Structure 1
Amino acid sequence: MITIDGSEGEGGGQVVRNACALSLVTGTPVRIENVRARRSKPGLMRQHVTAIEAACTVGNACCEGLSVGSSELTFQPGHVVPGEYRFSVGTAGSTGLVLQTVLMPLILADKPSRLVLEGGTHNMLAPPFDFIARVFLPIINRMGPRVEARLIRHGFYPRGGGRIEVDINPAPLAPIDCIERGALLERSACAYFAGLPFDIADREIKAAQKGLGWSDRECFVRELPEDQGPGNILLLEARFEHCTEIVSGFGELGVPADRVAKRAVGRMVGYLDSEAFAGPYLADQLLLPFALVGGCSFTTVKPSQHSFTASDVIAQFLGRRCAFTPQQDGSHLMEIR
């Protein structure tokens, strides 16, 4: 059994998700202590419990210490069984983070699966659905499997109520190299809002357009049905020949719209000014599949503490380390060693 100190490194929920996924893939039991010890509210939250419950269901696993607020757990994996599953977070907890926990075990299974995930689809501290569908999954599909995700209903914090559907057609993972992103093909900025005044989204998109210097044709506002709110998100998207980057900014109570836009613009400008293939959030998500297959590489911006922590967890299960080497152009080359 592997024992992981959840307080080390980034000290968040990613440790739990990656550990459970790797436990199912390798058949190795794991004990995690000091779960999310570095967070303002330590221990398991509802979305982490749902993610582990999902892992237990698809992998015939059992878990001791599985409750909201728990700081220790022991996960004993079983045999992964593909099929049709439905999981509800019950709050605005991220459906994408639940998907992250069970995706690789189901991709490596011997038959297709279909997931229905209910909860948050666009909430802070988690990749929005658009990022998963248009940034992350296309890279997974290049490795052999076919994964398609559909957004049925938006779910914003704090109400939740969103729904996504995911079809997973497994295939052996093939190593790929993601070094150059190619020429810029298209870019857009969109402010979505539901159950809120139009002025909020309008001010966001105007501030984003001014900060990026993009045209009127590339910047727009979209109103969602009122019953899917209240909620607001600004999405900045840049599509290249070989990859796509999406940067998001979430509307928050008491935070001016122009400040939301300024934060997102700063992150997008930083990515566009680099030569890297993957932004920081895509880099985090690629580490697990790339380590499982081995022989893969990608370039990224300055690696985050999230990435280093994920690398440490991966090394304990697979004996492979995700190594980041600075390049002359300012990017970093990630290789599996």
Structure 2
Amino acid sequence: MLEIDGSYGEGGGQLLRLAVALSAITGIGVHIGNIRARRSNPGLAPQHLAGVRAVGKLCAARMTGLALRSQRIVFEPAALRGGEFRFDIGTAGSITLVLQALIPVMLSAPAPCAVRVTGGTDIRQAPAADYLRAVLVRLIERLGAQLSVRVLRRGYYPRGGGEIEVNVQPARLVSCVFDRFGGAGPVRGIAHVANLPEHIALRMERAACERLAALGVQVSIERRILGHEAAVGAGGAIVCWAECGQTVLGAARVAERGVRAEALGEAVGIELMADIATGAGLDVHAADQLLVFLALAGGGSFSVRRLTLHARTAMWLIEQFLPVTFEVAESAGLTYVSVVARS
């Protein structure tokens, strides 16, 4: 059984989710201590409990220590299995963060998997649902995966109640190179609001378009206005992406009380333009999340504008479970990461 210090590096929920996912995939039991120890509210929150339990369900794991605010768990996986599953976070905790742990496990299962997760679809400090669909899923598909994501209902803080369905076929992933964005093609996007005035979506859209106009390419952002039948509670988000050759770059912001719609749109435009200008192969957030898939493929590489502490923590953790090594180099304002199989 591996002993993992949950306070290492970034020391947050991502380390916990990735550790149990890798445990399920490899069959290696794990004892995780000091979970979120340096946070103001340390230990397991409801969404962390939901993520661990969901992964445990897919591999019939024996789990101890699963309680609210617990800082220590033991996760002992059995065999992975396919099938249909439903998970309810029980709060507005992020569905996409739970799916971060589930999708690599589902890809490694011996049979197709379908899951429905209930909670928050567009939550601060988590990937927005449209970013998951338009950016992350497309990148994972480049590695040979077959998966589909459907947002059945939107849900926001504090009520939750959203629902996302994911269907995954088992796949042997193949290595891929995301080393450079070859040029700015058309930029697409979605600005949505639910149970809020339409002008909020319009202002997010216009602010992003004004920033992205400097690229000199076509910018097309779809505006979606959702009502009670399509969303629980009030909220919104703006997601933009640009696709070129092998890669997709994206940026997203979630609407929040007290933040002007224009500020959200501008932030998305600035972030996406920065990635395109540097020629990065992946955006900063995708780089964090694609590491585990490249490791499961046994190789690959990418460039990124900057490597976050989340990413460095993930690389340290993945090397504990899988026979790969991460090599990092910097050149011409970009960070290059290579995944190398250990013999």
TM-score when normalising by structure 1: 0.93
Asked if the contact 1:107–1:168 (Cα under 8 Å) also holds between the matched residues in 2, the reply is: yes
Cα RMSD, aligned residues only: 1.9
The answer on 1:67 being equivalent to 2:82 is: no
Contact (CA 8 Å) 2:152, 2:165: kept in 1 or not?
yes
Q: Does residue 15 of structure 2 align to residue 11 of structure 1?
A: no
- Given that residues 143 and 297 in structure 2 are in contact (C-alpha distance below 8 angstroms), is that contact kept between their aligned partners in structure 1? no
For the Cα contact (< 8 Å) 1:58–1:81, is it kept in 2?
Answer: yes
Are 1:154 and 2:157 an aligned pair? Answer: no
Partner of 1:333: 336
Structure 2 counterparts to residues 64-213 of structure 1, below 5 A: 64-213=64-213
- Residue in 2 aligned with 1:288? 292
Distance 1:107 1:18 in 2: 14
Kindly tell me the number of residue pairs found equivalent between the two proteins: 336
Query: Within 2, Cα distance between the matches of 1:22 and 1:74?
Result: 14
Give the counterpart letter for 2:243 in structure 1: R
For 1:128 and 1:44, how far apart are their aligned partners in 2?
22
Structure 1 residues 195-204 or 159-168, which shifts more? 195-204
Give the whole-Å Cα distance in 1 for the aligned partners of 2:92 and 2:316: 29
Instruction: Report if aligned partners of 2:181, 2:281 keep a CA contact under 8 Å in 1.
Output: yes
SS of match in other structure, 2:278 = coil
Residue in 2 that maps onto 1:241: 245
Distance between the aligned counterparts of 2:227 and 2:116, measured in 1?
21
The match for 2:226 is 224
- Segment drifting more, 168-177 vs 58-67: 168-177
Given candidates 273, 276, 288, the residue that maps to 1:272 is: 276
Question: What is the aligned partner in structure 2 of residue 30 from structure 1?
Answer: 30
Secondary structure in 1 matching 2:250: strand
Deviation at 1:217, TM superposition (A): 6.4
Asked if the contact 1:204/1:261 (under 8 Å) is kept, the reply is yes
Aligned residue type for 1:242: Q
CA distance in 1, matches of 2:210, 2:241: 16
After TM superposition, give the deviation of residue 81 of structure 1 in Å: 1.1
Task: Return the offset for 1:202.
Answer: 2.7
Percent of residue pairs identical = 35
Structure 2 unpaired stretches of 5+: none
**TM-score after normalising by structure 2:** 0.92
Q: Deviations over 1:187-222 (max 9, x none)?
A: 134421111223322332232222222789624532
- C-alpha change, 1:175 and 1:242, in structure 2 (3 Å) is closer
Select between 238-247 and 207-216 the one with higher mean Cα deviation: 207-216
> Separation in 2 of the partners of 1:254 and 1:13?
26
Q: Is residue 309 of structure 1 aligned with residue 313 of structure 2?
A: yes
